[in-house]
Amino acid sequence: MPAAFQITLDPFTITFLFIVAAAIVAVFVRGRNRDKCLRTLGDDPVTLVFTDSRHVRHLAE
């Protein structure tokens, strides 16, 4: 019984998989870093005011 789906490792496939893997790693690394401005705030209270006058209060982490 032949396989329904088979991946061939030609140069295009290897390059595509490398780009996808690099993008996933980059997203993970960037997501783990804290913003420089938020890092300096410490545990100070922060209030975010939206254009429709909603307020969100939170302690900076």
Q: Cα–Cα distance between 52 and 55 in angstroms, integer? A: 9
Does position 3 have pLDDT exceeding 70, yes or no?
A: no
Partner residues linked to 59 by β-bridges: 45
Task: State the first-to-last Cα distance of the chain, in angstroms, to the nearest integer.
Answer: 57
Q: What pLDDT sits at residue 1?
A: 53
- Phi and psi, residue 33, nearest 5°: -80, 140
Residue 6 lies in a domain: no
Tokens 């900076």, residue located: 60
2 is a domain residue: no
- Residue 35 C-alpha from the chain's centroid: 13
Q: Domains in the chain: how many in total?
A: 1
Would residue 47 count as lying in a domain?
yes
Confirm whether 41 is domain-assigned.
yes
Answer yes or no: is 1 within a domain: no
- Per-residue pLDDT tens over the stretch 8-42: 788 898 999 999 999 999 988 877 766 677 677 66
Q: Please check the confidence at residue 47 and state whether its pLDDT lies above 60.
A: yes
Residue 19 is part of which domain span?
11-59
Stated pTM of the model: 0.46
